[in-house]
Structure 1
């Protein structure tokens, strides 16, 4: 049976965004049930801007997903448990131009508020695009950051989206109806969201090898 989701208030969700995004990764998806694409990402953020809850993500110009985000009003961020790590690796290391990577990853797409996400997700955030701008080399105040991350000058575009809806899988709620953190890990001794699985000293997220300077999965792979 399809997984059921419950809409929640963003303020009610408890998680560590540094681990939820940076360690557990997410899928950035745009398009509709006729045509869409998705990419694995480990750079982004969640917070408050312009008096509203927002999510940010960063996409390089060569990524196929960027074409869909650019022509869509909305995009989604999908977060998964550790059991879907291999699926995220597939979505971060193959291109939707060349293959049906969603099928290869064993994921089932679902329509959410006119956008696309995945039934296997534990947490889905639906974002309305507010702002998009390519990063500017001249604006880097730490030149070494540019040198470490943009040897090919393929600067990301920054996207800011307002959080319109946030859905947590119904099975993430405990018996008393309280929502879990959305990461699928057991937490003991006061651990926050997304603890409980080890990452070895900057382990890379898409190919199983480490990336120097902590580079995330969306920077050397194909989306």
Structure 2
């Protein structure tokens, strides 16, 4: 296992557009007995309700959503470019069918019992604050529904989760 250190949020600088949108992340949730992760490129960081927060979006059909819904925490782990194929794999395969960690060779690590991916170089540990289902009637710009929730994804809308960032870990 790698050694991670907590990083003070007031010293933290990140380009979320690149880090989340281009480099991607693994969102992990569960416990020491069972956890799952998925690749994500939608989300953000900010300040809400007096706290540093992260927000992520998970489709109804994703296995990791069950872990987030049934738990109180999740993590967001970021990687060096050499792990891009692993991120593609975690986005293409369901944890319902196979143990993605065993197959990929990536490993879980834990911070205060919250799972995150050990091979990452940066992780946000988050405590769930809100879950907001996205529905078709919420869109003002209906092109969003057509582009992202077409007939192939009918009724597979996302849920937006807002989590307090309790710890930032770096190695």
TM-score normalised by the chain length of structure 1: 0.74
> Which residue number corresponds to residue 69 of structure 2?
70
Cα offset, 1:136, TM superposition: 2.1
Gaps of at least 5 residues in structure 1 are: 170-223
Whole-angstrom CA distance in 1 between matches of 2:10 and 2:55: 17
1:17-166 alignment, distance < 5 Å: 17-151=16-150, 152-166=154-168
User: 1:106-128, CA deviations, whole angstroms, 9 ceiling, x for partnerless residues?
Assistant: 20111111110121110011000
Gaps of at least 5 residues in structure 2 are: none
Q: Which has the higher helix share?
A: 2
Runs (4 or more) in structure 1 with deviation over 6 Å come to none
Residue pair 1:90, 1:104 contacting (<8 A) in 2 also? no
Per the alignment, in what secondary structure is the counterpart of residue 33 of structure 1?
coil
The alignment covers a number of residue pairs equal to: 168
TM-score normalised by the chain length of structure 2: 0.95
Cα offset, 1:11, TM superposition: 2.5
> Which residue number corresponds to residue 12 of structure 1?
11
Whole-angstrom CA distance in 2 between matches of 1:49 and 1:105: 35
Indicate the structure (1 or 2) with the bigger Cα radius of gyration.
1
Q: Which has the higher strand share?
A: 2
